[in-house]
């Protein structure tokens, strides 16, 4: 079984580029050039220099002592929360802003849910002096206010998406419409491993620095490159894709994904796509998505803005369908408790997205010598208000 | 011969109208079609509403949301169109996004269209290569013409590929935009219309997006075979319901 993208832009049955003709020139330009450009020496040099000096990579691989004790296995946390801007998202935006410059683009658009990708995009645009417009659902603007303020301070224009559920899906629709209306000078920095080919593969490659580092860091700490499990939460799937990337073909490494169950998988208010989704097309990509039997996309729900998406990236649909990945889902309550637990056991306040990955211990028991690497995709500063309200702190 | 091809052979410039099925009221679909035919329109695009219409601006988005709220579904539309060929003889095209068609089953969808007397489909997010590889044979077996879009940014090489794959007309999007985003044409459009006319394509071209009145209809059809009105007609339905469709159409040409 092959887990990487094929020449046609598919992961097994999933992927492709189901886009209206208006987007074809831009997406095709990217498809023809992305690999060539991103592996040029000067691109790689600038990319890695920025990851080191600006983002602060490598991010630590931290052995979580008390968490390990509690769950009787060896838990390592890949500290993407310590990146500049507070999440893994910046790995991708650094890569894509360099790509946009190579392609001669003068204006950047992005969608955002939690606001982490919006902040990471606004940040690299400030860094490069490029105009930036971020689309964000009206609901998310309200629940992630600190990130909205950061984007504005960074000079980005934040435009509210007012249609549908007014969350990530709708912000993505608006960004795509913007791109249709501005086809020449604009690059769309998609924030997850979603969208038409080549986006899922491009985003995954930029995020793959996560698993590249895990390998040598684990070698230093455990004397072996391969963990027994890699774990990540899945919104669209970019931190997961980066965390899994270099282990996809290593059969002995278990791949674990945790989705947002919202108020429960069968509550009607959930974002557990692998459980609730069917093959279909969303945002230019054939993948698993939550939809009615008539093919209308349904509104997802999660307490976490970054996981509140009715689809998953095509790589993850393939990992699910092929059985390569183990998929779990955590409810709002389980995630919030897991977030508080990490805070009190390790002194790390995680993003609520990340808390979903940490809730895995409610569902899976590991062996004492299992090495379990969890992607700590982001920090919880942006979520303080939600934590405070939830726990009545 | 397919009704679309027949119509394209006629002398006059074509006026085609898009509307969203099930809008403004669920049961308006057939009335709108009949009224449009009576008013002398040449072709109708029946919009199958979708929850996430990426290529559409607010007007068509809102009509789609309203239609879905009214209870429109693929099966419901097919049921409404059951006797449509006893009522009208005008070419009918279903326009929508690919996912609802995929969920119905492409083969089943095409078969149903043939039974009902639908002449063609416009599915903007079904790309040319996927159509040719997976679906062309099915469309053809059911006598359906698939209509592709081109835009001012489409390269000549790709236009020629699209022309080769088309058997009815080419849907010429007037400017890089979502539907209803721009009104009126500038120099850029004039140049584009001339450039495409100069390619001497095998398929006639019908211009869509940005056409709302007599002036834009005339400008669009100075080079092209016809023009399509969408958002402007949806706005008419929003304010007037299914009344005064005749005067709307007479105002265009
Ligand atoms: C901290 C954090 N983790 C995870 C996600 C989910 O995105 P993805 O699945 O692409 O990693 C987000 C999205 O906003 C996020 O901010």
For chain B, the distance separating the N- and C-terminal CA atoms, rounded to the nearest angstrom, is 27
Q: Give the DSSP letter of residue A9.
A: S
- Calculate the alpha carbon distances from B195 to A101, A180, A329, B15, B207 in Å: 31, 21, 54, 22, 13
Using DSSP's 3-state secondary structure scheme, residue A328 falls into strand
* Contact yes or no for A314/A286 (Cβ under 8 A): yes
Residue B192 reports pLDDT greater than 90:
yes
Question: Cα(A333) to centroid of ligand 1, in Å?
Answer: 18
Closest CA to B126 of A368, A126, A20, A370: A20
The average confidence (pLDDT) of chain B is 97
Residue A376's pLDDT is what? 98
CB contact set of A252 (below 8 Å; sequence gap of 6+): A226, A228
Residue A350's pLDDT is what? 98
* Tally of structural domains, chain B: 1
Using DSSP's 3-state secondary structure scheme, residue B223 falls into coil
Which residue in A17, A164, A280 is closest to B102 by CB distance?
A280
**Sign, CA torsion A34/A37/A40/A42:** negative
* Contact yes or no for A324/A1 (Cβ under 8 A): yes
Q: Exposed, middle or buried by CB within 10 Å (0-12, 13-18, 19+), for B157?
A: exposed
Torsion of Cα atoms, B103 then B106 then B107 then B112, to 10°: 80
Quickly list DSSP for A28-90. Answer: HHHHHHHHHHHTSHHHHHHHHHHIIIII-PSPPEEE-HHHHHHHTSEEEEE-GGGSTTSBTHH
Question: Cα(A235) to centroid of ligand 1, in Å?
Answer: 6
pLDDT one-digit tens code per residue, B6-63: 999 999 999 999 999 999 999 999 999 999 999 999 999 999 999 999 999 999 999 9
Residue B183's pLDDT is what? 77
Structure tokens given for B214: 């007599």
Structure tokens given for A155: 């000079």
Q: Annotated catalytic, B45?
A: yes
Separation between Cα atoms, residue A130 and residue A122, nearest integer Å: 9
Q: What angle do CA B107, B108, B113 make, to 5 degrees?
A: 100
Task: Compute the average pLDDT of residues B110-139.
Answer: 98
Number of neighbouring beta carbons within 10 Å of residue A368? 9
Structure tokens given for A73: 């296995």
Distance from CA of A163 to the nearest CA of B (A): 9
Give this complex's ipTM: 0.96
Distance from CA of B20 to the nearest CA of A (A): 15
Residue B217 reports pLDDT greater than 80:
yes
Residue A364's pLDDT is what? 98
**Catalytic residue numbers of A, as ranges:** 89, 111, 377
Would you call B153 and A22 a contact, using CB atoms and an 8 Å cutoff?
Answer: yes
Residue B182's pLDDT is what? 79
Q: What is the largest CA-CA distance in chain B?
A: 45
Chain B residues 185-224 with CB within 8 Å of chain A: none
pLDDT one-digit tens code per residue, B100-122: 999 999 999 999 999 999 999 99
Which residue intervals of chain A are DSSP H helices? 24-38, 41-50, 65-71, 89-102, 116-128, 138-143, 145-153, 168-181, 199-207, 209-222, 238-244, 273-276, 314-322, 332-346, 352-358, 384-391
* Contact yes or no for A270/A302 (Cβ under 8 A): yes
Would you call A21 and B99 a contact, using CB atoms and an 8 Å cutoff?
Answer: no
Residue A345's pLDDT is what? 98
Which residue in A18, A25, A296 is closest to B127 by CB distance?
A18
Distance from CA of A128 to the nearest CA of B (A): 27
Length of chain A: 393
Separation between Cα atoms, residue B44 and residue A318, nearest integer Å: 40
Quickly list DSSP for B10-21. Answer: SSSPEEEEEEET
- The domain containing residue B57 runs over which residues? 3-252
Closest CA to B21 of B90, B75, B85, B99: B75
Give the position of tokens 């189901």. A18
Structure tokens given for B115: 């039974």
Give the position of tokens 């008390």. A66
Residue B118's pLDDT is what? 98
Separation between Cα atoms, residue B95 and residue B72, nearest integer Å: 14
* Contact yes or no for A46/A98 (Cβ under 8 A): yes
> Distance between alpha carbon B221 and the CA centroid of its chain, in Å?
16
CATH number at residue B17: 3.20.20.70
Would you call B102 and A19 a contact, using CB atoms and an 8 Å cutoff?
Answer: no
Question: Cα(A236) to centroid of ligand 1, in Å?
Answer: 8
Residue B77's pLDDT is what? 98
Residue B234's pLDDT is what? 98
Separation between Cα atoms, residue A208 and residue B66, nearest integer Å: 43
Separation between Cα atoms, residue A299 and residue B52, nearest integer Å: 11
Would you call B98 and A281 a contact, using CB atoms and an 8 Å cutoff?
Answer: yes
Q: Give the DSSP letter of residue A335.
A: H
Separation between Cα atoms, residue B13 and residue B68, nearest integer Å: 33
pTM tops 0.80 = yes
Domains of chain A by start residue, with CATH: 10-50+89-203 (3.40.50.1100), 56-86+208-391 (3.40.50.1100)
Using alpha carbons only, how large is chain B's radius of gyration in Å? 17
Residue B238's pLDDT is what? 98
Helices A24-38 and A41-50 sit at what angle, rounded to 10 degrees?
90
Q: Exposed, middle or buried by CB within 10 Å (0-12, 13-18, 19+), for B88?
A: middle
Separation between Cα atoms, residue A214 and residue A222, nearest integer Å: 11
Using alpha carbons only, how large is chain A's radius of gyration in Å? 19
Residue B176's pLDDT is what? 87
Tens digit of each residue's pLDDT, chain A (393 residues): 899 999 999 999 999 999 999 999 999 999 999 999 999 999 999 999 999 999 999 999 999 999 999 999 999 999 999 999 999 999 999 999 999 999 999 999 999 999 999 999 999 999 999 999 999 999 999 989 999 999 999 999 999 999 878 899 999 999 999 999 999 999 999 999 999 999 999 999 999 999 999 999 999 999 999 999 999 999 999 999 999 999 999 999 999 999 999 999 999 999 999 999 999 999 999 999 999 999 999 999 999 999 999 999 999 999 999 999 999 999 999 999 999 999 999 999 999 999 999 999 999 999 999 999 999 999 999 999 999 999 998
User: Hey, is the C-beta of B151 within 8 angstroms of any chain A C-beta?
Assistant: yes
């Amino acid at each position: 079984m092959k887990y990487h993208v094929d020449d046609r832009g598919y992961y097994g049955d999933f992927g492709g580029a189901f886009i209206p003709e208006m987007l074809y020139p831009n997406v095709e330009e990217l498809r023809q050039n992305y690999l060539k450009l991103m592996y040029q020496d000067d691109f790689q040099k600038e990319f890695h220099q920025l990851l080191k000096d600006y983002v602060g990579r490598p991010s630590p691989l931290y052995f979580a002592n008390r968490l390990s004790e509690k769950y009787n296995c060896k838990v390592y946390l890949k500290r993407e929360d310590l990146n500049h801007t507070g999440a893994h998202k910046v790995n991708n935006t650094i890569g894509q802003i360099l790509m946009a410059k190579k392609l001669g683009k003068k204006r950047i658009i992005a969608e955002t849910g939690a606001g982490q990708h919006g902040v990471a995009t606004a940040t690299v645009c400030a860094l490069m002096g490029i105009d930036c417009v971020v689309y964000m659902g009206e609901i998310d603007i309200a629940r992630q206010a600190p990130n909205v303020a950061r984007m504005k301070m960074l000079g980005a224009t934040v435009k509210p998406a007012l249609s549908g559920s007014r969350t990530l899906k709708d912000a993505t629709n608006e960004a795509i419409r913007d791109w249709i209306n501005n086809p020449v000078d604009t690059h769309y920095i998609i924030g997850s491993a979603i969208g038409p080919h080549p986006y899922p593969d491009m985003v995954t490659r930029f995020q793959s620095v996560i698993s590249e580092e895990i390998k040598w860091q684990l070698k230093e700490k455990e004397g072996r490159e391969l963990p027994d499990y890699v774990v990540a939460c899945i919104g669209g799937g970019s931190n997961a894709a980066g965390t899994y990337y270099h282990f996809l073909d290593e059969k002995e490494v278990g791949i674990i994904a945790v989705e947002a169950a919202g108020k429960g998988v069968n509550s009607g208010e959930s974002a557990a796509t692998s459980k609730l989704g069917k093959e279909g097309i969303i945002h230019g990509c054939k993948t698993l998505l939550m939809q009615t039997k008539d093919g209308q996309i349904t509104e997802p729900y999660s307490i976490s803005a970054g996981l509140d998406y009715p689809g998953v990236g095509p790589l993850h649909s393939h990992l699910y369908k092929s059985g390569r990945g183990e998929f779990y889902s955590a409810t709002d309550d389980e995630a919030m408790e897991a977030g508080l637990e990490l805070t009190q056991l390790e002194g790390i306040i995680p993003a609520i997205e990340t808390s979903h990955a940490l809730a895995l211990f409610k569902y899976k028991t590991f062996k004492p010598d299992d090495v379990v690497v969890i992607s700590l995709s982001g920090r919880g500063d942006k979520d303080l208000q939600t934590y405070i309200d939830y726990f009545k702190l | 011969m397919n009704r679309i091809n027949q119509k394209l052979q006629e002398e006059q410039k074509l006026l085609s109208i898009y509307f969203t099925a099930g809008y403004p009221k669920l049961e308006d679909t057939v009335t709108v079609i009949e009224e449009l035919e009576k008013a002398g329109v040449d072709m109708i695009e029946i919009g199958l509403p979708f929850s996430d219409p990426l290529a559409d601006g607010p007007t068509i988005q809102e009509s789609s949301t309203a239609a879905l709220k009214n209870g429109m579904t693929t099966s419901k539309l097919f049921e409404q169109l059951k006797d449509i060929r006893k009522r009208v003889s005008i070419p009918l095209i279903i326009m929508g996004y690919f996912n609802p068609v995929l969920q119905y089953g492409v083969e089943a969808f095409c078969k149903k269209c043939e039974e009902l007397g639908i002449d063609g489909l416009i599915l903007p997010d079904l790309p040319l290569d996927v159509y040719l590889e997976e679906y062309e044979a099915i469309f053809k077996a059911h006598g359906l013409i698939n209509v592709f879009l081109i835009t001012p940014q489409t390269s000549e090489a790709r236009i020629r590929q699209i022309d080769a794959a088309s058997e009815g007309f080419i849907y010429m999007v007037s400017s890089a935009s979502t539907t209803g985003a721009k009104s009126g044409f500038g120099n850029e459009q004039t140049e584009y219309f001339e450039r495409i006319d100069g390619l001497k394509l095998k398929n006639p071209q019908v211009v869509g997006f940005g056409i709302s009145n007599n002036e834009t209809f005339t400008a669009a059809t100075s080079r092209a075979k016809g023009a399509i009105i969408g958002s402007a007609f949806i706005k008419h339905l929003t304010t007037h319901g299914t009344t005064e469709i005749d005067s709307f159409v007479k105002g265009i040409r």
